[in-house]
Amino acid sequence: MEKTRNLVTYLQAAPLAVVLLGFLIAPIVMIVIVSFWGATEFSIYPAFQFDNYAFLFGSPVTYKVFFATFKYAIITWALTLSIGFTIAYFLAFHIRTQAIQTVLFLLCTIPFLTSNIIRMISWIPFLGRNGIANQALISWGVIDVPLEWLLYSDFAVILAFVHLYTLFMVVPIFNTMIRIDKSLIEAAYDNGASGFQTLKHVIIPLTKPGIMIGTIFVVTLVMGDFITVRFMSGSQKANVGRLISNDISLLQYPSAAATAVILLCTVLIVIGVLLRFVNIRKEL
């Protein structure tokens, strides 16, 4: 009887295990294997060598690109957290009826009904030298000449990242806040806590799982993105995703695979560090 139950359990888990093996584990294993291969200008040959990793770790460009990637990720995380927490707090505690909460939340998702690339490119005519932003500032007398740094700069890249990924911070934080027992907040006020003290000692600690989930989403998406950096910087800036994309365009697949492995390990380390601050499985 026990063997039959175990067999049924294994059979039930088998389809999911096959999907994970075929679409997650196998591709990662293939990337790791290819990262040790060699390449010339005209061919790729199977091998087991560390030339790709030695080149990456020995090049100062690699460190500059990773630094830029972390810079984009940290700044985007800070801005999306500030905006996302504020929106989620407003929806969870200042909107009393669930129907209005749902409507306002759906309004936040409307931009996601269009392509990321379309939403990103829409900033270009707004931020351009003769764009809406510069023309408005000139007409108001704020500036005399157009601002050059609005477009094709780190500012434009981070602005696009924040626009694209803020909702990934709003959703988990709102989902956590909406389940906070309102009697805890009332008890804090009854005991003389101010609004800031209630926020600091009650709401934020109870919202940590949502903050961590949103942080993981935003950080991993920004670190793996490459098209946003390419378009919004005018190909003047680079991150790890662009480094991989450039290697692929040059048919240097082993080098691209090695960079992808390093990026994957870096992201996993970042996620591991984040999970040290809160036990998401326990608190959810």
CA distance 227 to 34: 24
- pLDDT tens-digit readout, 145-158: 888 888 888 999 99
How would residue 31 be classed by pLDDT, with cut points 50, 70 and 90?
very high
pLDDT of residue 78: 96
- pLDDT tens-digit readout, 165-178: 999 999 999 989 98
Q: Going by C-beta distance under 8 Å and a sequence separation of 6 or more, which residues neighbour residue 266?
A: 66, 223
Mean pLDDT of 127-142: 87
CA distance 223 to 256: 15
- pLDDT tens-digit readout, 184-233: 888 888 888 888 888 888 899 889 989 999 999 999 999 988 889 988 88
In order of 27, 169, 279, the CA distances from 272 in angstroms are 22, 19, 11
The correct answer on CATH 1.10.3720.10 for the domain covering 61-283 is yes
CA distance 229 to 50: 29
In order of 16, 93, 173, 213, the CA distances from 81 in angstroms are 33, 17, 9, 11
pLDDT of residue 142: 84
